[in-house]
Protein backbone atom coordinates (compact mmCIF):
# COMPACT_ATOMS: atom_id res chain seq x y z
CA UNK A 1 0.00 0.00 0.00
CA UNK A 2 1.44 3.38 -0.95
CA UNK A 3 1.77 6.22 1.52
CA UNK A 4 -1.07 8.08 -0.22
CA UNK A 5 -3.36 5.04 -0.02
CA UNK A 6 -2.46 4.52 3.65
CA UNK A 7 -3.10 8.19 4.40
CA UNK A 8 -6.44 8.09 2.57
CA UNK A 9 -7.49 5.00 4.52
CA UNK A 10 -6.71 6.57 7.89
CA UNK A 11 -8.18 9.95 6.93
CA UNK A 12 -11.38 8.30 5.72
CA UNK A 13 -11.69 6.16 8.85
CA UNK A 14 -10.99 9.16 11.09
CA UNK A 15 -13.56 11.32 9.33
CA UNK A 16 -16.10 8.49 9.52
CA UNK A 17 -15.47 8.27 13.28
CA UNK A 18 -16.09 12.01 13.65
CA UNK A 19 -19.33 11.70 11.65
CA UNK A 20 -20.42 8.70 13.72
CA UNK A 21 -19.68 10.57 16.93
CA UNK A 22 -21.56 13.63 15.69
CA UNK A 23 -24.60 11.48 14.94
CA UNK A 24 -24.29 9.85 18.38
CA UNK A 25 -24.17 13.31 19.97
CA UNK A 26 -27.31 14.36 18.11
CA UNK A 27 -29.11 11.14 19.07
CA UNK A 28 -28.17 11.65 22.73
CA UNK A 29 -30.23 14.82 22.71
CA UNK A 30 -33.49 12.95 22.13
CA UNK A 31 -33.70 10.99 25.41
CA UNK A 32 -32.17 13.87 27.33
CA UNK A 33 -35.28 15.93 26.58
CA UNK A 34 -37.39 13.69 28.83
CA UNK A 35 -38.11 14.67 32.42
CA UNK A 36 -35.26 13.31 34.61
CA UNK A 37 -33.82 11.23 31.73
CA UNK A 38 -30.86 9.86 33.65
CA UNK A 39 -33.15 8.17 36.15
CA UNK A 40 -35.81 6.89 33.77
CA UNK A 41 -33.73 5.53 30.92
CA UNK A 42 -31.34 3.28 32.84
CA UNK A 43 -28.51 4.70 30.74
CA UNK A 44 -25.73 6.79 32.22
CA UNK A 45 -25.39 9.51 29.59
CA UNK A 46 -22.19 10.76 31.16
CA UNK A 47 -20.45 7.62 29.87
CA UNK A 48 -22.13 7.86 26.46
CA UNK A 49 -20.81 11.43 26.36
CA UNK A 50 -17.33 10.15 27.20
CA UNK A 51 -17.53 7.67 24.30
CA UNK A 52 -18.80 10.47 22.04
CA UNK A 53 -15.78 12.67 22.85
CA UNK A 54 -13.42 9.69 22.62
CA UNK A 55 -14.61 8.80 19.10
CA UNK A 56 -14.01 12.40 18.01
CA UNK A 57 -10.51 12.47 19.50
CA UNK A 58 -9.60 9.06 18.11
CA UNK A 59 -10.95 10.07 14.71
CA UNK A 60 -8.65 13.08 14.81
CA UNK A 61 -5.83 10.74 15.92
CA UNK A 62 -6.37 8.59 12.83
CA UNK A 63 -6.31 11.69 10.64
CA UNK A 64 -3.07 12.84 12.26
CA UNK A 65 -1.52 9.42 11.62
CA UNK A 66 -2.64 9.64 8.00
CA UNK A 67 -1.12 13.11 7.68
CA UNK A 68 2.16 11.92 9.18
CA UNK A 69 2.28 8.99 6.76
CA UNK A 70 1.59 11.32 3.82
CA UNK A 71 4.01 14.12 4.80
CA UNK A 72 6.86 11.70 5.50
CA UNK A 73 5.97 9.40 2.54
CA UNK A 74 5.99 6.40 4.85
CA UNK A 75 5.54 2.82 3.74
CA UNK A 76 3.62 1.41 6.71
CA UNK A 77 2.64 -2.25 6.92
CA UNK A 78 -1.07 -2.88 6.50
CA UNK A 79 -1.24 -4.60 9.91
CA UNK A 80 -0.15 -1.35 11.60
CA UNK A 81 -2.90 0.55 9.78
CA UNK A 82 -5.44 -2.09 10.78
CA UNK A 83 -4.32 -1.78 14.41
CA UNK A 84 -4.76 2.02 14.28
CA UNK A 85 -8.24 1.74 12.80
CA UNK A 86 -9.28 -1.04 15.18
CA UNK A 87 -8.00 0.92 18.16
CA UNK A 88 -9.64 4.13 17.01
CA UNK A 89 -13.05 2.51 16.68
CA UNK A 90 -12.96 -0.02 19.51
CA UNK A 91 -11.34 2.01 22.29
CA UNK A 92 -14.49 4.03 23.21
CA UNK A 93 -16.72 0.94 23.37
CA UNK A 94 -15.99 0.19 27.07
CA UNK A 95 -17.59 3.56 27.92
CA UNK A 96 -20.76 2.38 26.16
CA UNK A 97 -20.75 -0.81 28.24
CA UNK A 98 -20.24 1.30 31.35
CA UNK A 99 -23.24 3.46 30.40
CA UNK A 100 -25.37 0.33 30.74
CA UNK A 101 -23.93 -0.65 34.13
CA UNK A 102 -21.10 -2.96 33.02
CA UNK A 103 -17.78 -1.86 34.48
CA UNK A 104 -15.59 -2.45 31.45
CA UNK A 105 -12.55 -0.98 33.17
CA UNK A 106 -12.04 -3.89 35.58
CA UNK A 107 -11.11 -7.35 34.35
CA UNK A 108 -13.38 -9.33 36.65
CA UNK A 109 -17.00 -10.30 36.89
CA UNK A 110 -18.99 -12.14 34.24
CA UNK A 111 -17.95 -12.94 30.68
CA UNK A 112 -19.45 -9.75 29.24
CA UNK A 113 -17.57 -7.54 31.71
CA UNK A 114 -14.28 -9.38 31.14
CA UNK A 115 -14.77 -9.27 27.36
CA UNK A 116 -15.46 -5.53 27.47
CA UNK A 117 -12.37 -4.96 29.61
CA UNK A 118 -10.28 -7.10 27.26
CA UNK A 119 -11.55 -5.06 24.31
CA UNK A 120 -10.47 -1.86 26.05
CA UNK A 121 -7.03 -3.26 26.79
CA UNK A 122 -6.56 -4.73 23.31
CA UNK A 123 -7.64 -1.51 21.60
CA UNK A 124 -5.27 0.57 23.75
CA UNK A 125 -2.42 -1.78 22.94
CA UNK A 126 -3.31 -1.63 19.23
CA UNK A 127 -3.09 2.17 19.27
CA UNK A 128 0.24 2.14 21.11
CA UNK A 129 1.79 -0.43 18.77
CA UNK A 130 0.53 1.35 15.66
CA UNK A 131 1.77 4.76 16.80
CA UNK A 132 5.14 3.22 17.71
CA UNK A 133 5.50 1.75 14.21
CA UNK A 134 4.45 5.00 12.50
CA UNK A 135 6.60 7.30 14.63
CA UNK A 136 9.65 5.03 14.36
CA UNK A 137 9.26 5.03 10.56
CA UNK A 138 8.91 8.84 10.57
CA UNK A 139 12.00 9.26 12.78
CA UNK A 140 14.00 7.07 10.40
CA UNK A 141 12.74 9.11 7.45
CA UNK A 142 13.41 12.53 8.99
**Rounded distance, CA 13 to CA 140, Å?**
26
Residue 34's pLDDT band (cuts 50, 70, 90): low
Q: What confidence score (pLDDT) does residue 40 get? A: 52
Closest alpha carbon to 15 in 91, 88, 72: 88
Q: Is the pLDDT of residue 7 over 60?
A: yes
Q: Is the pLDDT of residue 77 over 90?
A: yes
Q: What confidence score (pLDDT) does residue 68 get? A: 97
pLDDT in tens, 92-118: 999 999 999 999 999 999 999 999 999
**Rounded distance, CA 80 to CA 88, Å?**
12
pTM attached to this predicted model: 0.92
What is the full DSSP assignment across 35-74?
SSHHHHSS--HHHHHHHHHHHHHHHHHHHHHHHHHHHTT-
Closest alpha carbon to 130 in 66, 75, 76, 83: 83
Amino acid sequence: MTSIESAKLLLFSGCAAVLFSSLLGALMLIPLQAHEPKQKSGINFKHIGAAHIDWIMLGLMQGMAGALIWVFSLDIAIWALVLMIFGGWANPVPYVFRAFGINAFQFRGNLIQRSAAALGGASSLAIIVSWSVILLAAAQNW
